[in-house]
Amino acid sequence: MAFLLRRLMFYLAAFLVAATINFFLPRMMPGDPIDIMFSSAGSSLTLENLNALKLTFGFIDAPLGQQYLAYLRSVFTGDLGMSIKYFPMPVSELLGRSLIWTVSLVGIATVISFILGTLLGVMAAWKRGSRFDSAVSLLAIFATSIPAVVVALLVLFVFGYELRWFPNGYAADPLIDPAFSWQYIQSVLYHGTLPLVTLVFVLTGGFLVTMRNNMINLLGEDYIVMGRAKGLAERDVMLWYAARNALLPTVSNLAIALGTVLSGSLVVEVVFNYPGLGNTLYQAILARDYPVIQGQLLIMTGAMLVANFVVDLSYVLLDPRLKKA
């Protein structure tokens, strides 16, 4: 319990530091979205209009320290302000809409990749030196070496433009009304196939390589030899003696992957024009929509910290010795 409390306090402190950086970083960048709006409007906006715009978007004309305290208050009350690009939509509503698509797509892709990569890694290590091991290891190195943007563009070109098996963008057919109906669900699955395949291909290699290496390091341990000498079934030795103990570092990889779920899909979402958080962040950066950028960075930071805390809980379950730490 003491171990988990210390970790919880650490994550709360880390979140506060991240929120502080999130506040100061946009203000250190050149340019101001309100000034840009003012300059593009020419003489149609007066100084009074400019001040009204700043007040509307939450830009407080006050010392930096006072702005910082107001920002922290808004963070912990969940008030992320209004989007400049999509005015008058609140940032929380905009990110909430995008969050559903990203979590659905990248969350499913991460879980599939973890299960697939772990199982293939176990089998490759158990059959070390075989044709199966050589084939999946080569595929894993290939998948982890190629940038995600290259895989996404290749998949889009082959299956979207050349073969025309799948749509080239959007999360669903815009002609179908969003509703909990089989027609709409079918359209969502159809449009999400190419982004899902791309993410699964990119993520699986890392889990596979990690699990294979962990297994190989453990296969020479005494308790593995003892298990075989006792005449236990090969499947039991592989799964309960070797794979279980080799799983801890792979769980760490899963935490990193889950933590980056909300940000790691940026490239894939932009390539496939998928309306998730990555695409929203890209559009916000282009428009210098600071409230959206800040809100999304906070969500990404929170997701990473929560994922790591969940992994700490998993460590305690997988390795009971940590309960005494």
47 within a domain of the structure (yes/no): no
- How far apart are the C-alpha atoms of 149 and 159, rounded to whole Å? 15
What distance, in Å, lies between the first and last C-alpha atoms of the chain?
A: 9
Structural domain including 226 reads: 92-322
- How far apart are the C-alpha atoms of 69 and 76, rounded to whole Å? 11
Q: Grade residue 50 by pLDDT with cuts at 50, 70 and 90.
A: low
Q: How many domains does the chain have?
A: 1
40 within a domain of the structure (yes/no): no
Cα separation values, 242 from 18, 224, 235, 237, 276, Å: 38, 7, 10, 6, 39
27 within a domain of the structure (yes/no): no
Q: Grade residue 227 by pLDDT with cuts at 50, 70 and 90.
A: confident
- pLDDT at site 302: 81
Helices (H) and strands (E) in the chain, counts: 15, 0
Q: What is the pLDDT of residues 153-184, one digit of tens each?
A: 999 999 988 888 998 878 888 888 877 788 88
109 within a domain of the structure (yes/no): yes
% of the chain surpassing 70 pLDDT: 80
259 within a domain of the structure (yes/no): yes
108 within a domain of the structure (yes/no): yes
Q: What is the pLDDT of residues 5-29, one digit of tens each?
A: 777 888 888 888 888 887 777 677 6
151 within a domain of the structure (yes/no): yes
Q: What is the pLDDT of residues 124-163, one digit of tens each?
A: 888 888 888 889 888 888 888 888 888 889 999 999 888 8
- Residue 138: exposed, middle, or buried by beta-carbon count in 10 A (0-12, 13-18, 19+)? exposed
Q: Is-contact 298 19, C-beta < 8 A?
A: yes
Helix H segments across 29-130?
A: 33-41, 47-56, 64-77, 91-126
123 within a domain of the structure (yes/no): yes
Q: What angle do CA 133, 138, 141 make, to 5 degrees?
A: 125
CATH classification of the domain holding 142: 1.10.3720.10
The 8-class DSSP code of residue 324 comes to G
Residue partners of 88: CB distance under 8 A and separation at least 6: 82
